[in-house]
């Protein structure tokens, strides 16, 4: 029986991918190689340092660990200037309505994000209070597709993994949910998220009937 919903942040509740893209592209421009919107797809759901490694591999650039740290820090400072301008109008359609419904129905709510900026983003969106547990990039040691982030969220809620539904937009996140023994709703395209139990375009397409239908999956 479904007792809790665990939400990924970037790509599920808010579209921060566009800001990540601008910030990474600035580094690529400086280093003199091309970084396209398609390339940016590969960075979704993966950690900051792994994102940087992917970026550098696209540019066929080698950097020392110290240089990498400096680049990642600079990217994040740049990214933060965009994040700090965000407000509740950036919340993706249907999110608040679905969170309100879950609250009314007594379904528990947690966040499971790879981002170290998750708290800042939730504050900017004025959504912090919806989440009983917030597990983000500052609290995990293993990145998705490892299930750690979702297992910690379930544990913080005191709910068994098989009573949890994860909402994810990234392939690595879907894998993490499934290997943690949870149900998974993919947000996006079936070619990327094919393994999820249900695939929708966004939370505006979600309701209690669809949620409880996952009990049968
Ligand atoms: P930060 P999610 C992920 O968030 C993003 O999808 C990914 O593109 C980003 O690199 C990662 O957070 C780390 O973010 O640099 O803010 O720590 O989708 O797991 O909510
Ligand atoms: Mg995501």
Distance CA 184, CA 165 (A): 5
Q: Give the per-residue pLDDT at 200.
A: 97
Contact between residue 197 and residue 36 where contact means Cβ atoms under 8 Å apart: no
pLDDT exceeds cutoff 90 at 45 = no
CA of 192 to the centre of ligand 2 (A): 13
C-alpha 216 to ligand 1 mean position (Å): 31
Which ipTM score applies to this complex?
Answer: 0.93
Q: What is the pLDDT of residue 217?
A: 86
Cβ < 6 A, ligand 1 pocket: 8-11, 20, 43-48, 51, 76, 113-117, 137, 170
The average pLDDT across 144-173 equals: 97
191 or 27: which carries more pLDDT confidence? Answer: 27
- Give the residue from 64, 78, 66 showing the smallest Cα distance to 28: 78
- Spatial separation of the C-alpha atoms in residues 133 and 121, rounded to whole Å: 15
Q: At what angle do helices 17-31 and 65-83 cross, to 10 degrees?
A: 140
Residue-wise pLDDT for 91-139, tens only, equals 999 999 999 999 999 999 999 999 999 999 999 999 999 999 999 999 9
Strand order across the 133-135 sheet: 133-135, 108-112, 4-7, 164-168, 183-187, 198-200
């Amino acid at each position: 029986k479904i007792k809790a919903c665990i939400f990924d942040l970037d790509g599920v509740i808010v579209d921060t991918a566009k800001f990540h893209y601008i910030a990474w592209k600035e580094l690529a421009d400086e280093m003199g190689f091309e970084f396209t919107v398609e390339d940016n797809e590969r960075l979704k759901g993966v950690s900051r340092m792994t994102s940087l490694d992917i970026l550098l591999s696209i540019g066929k650039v080698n950097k020392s660990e110290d240089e990498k740290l400096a680049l990642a820090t600079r990217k994040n400072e740049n990214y933060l200037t965009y994040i700090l301008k965000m407000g509740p109008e950036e919340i993706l359609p249907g999110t608040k309505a679905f969170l309100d419904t879950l609250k009314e129905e007594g379904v528990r709510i947690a966040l499971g994000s790879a981002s170290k900026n998750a708290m800042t983003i939730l504050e900017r969106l004025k959504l912090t209070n919806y989440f009983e547990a917030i597990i983000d990039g500052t609290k995990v040691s293993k990145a998705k597709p490892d299930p750690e982030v979702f297992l910690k969220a379930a544990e913080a809620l005191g709910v068994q993994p098989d009573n949890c539904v994860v909402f994810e937009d990234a392939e690595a996140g879907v894998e993490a949910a499934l290997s943690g023994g949870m149900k998974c709703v993919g947000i996006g395209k079936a070619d990327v998220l094919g393994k999820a139990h249900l695939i929708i375009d966004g939370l505006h397409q979600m309701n209690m009937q669809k949620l409880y239908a996952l009990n049968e999956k």
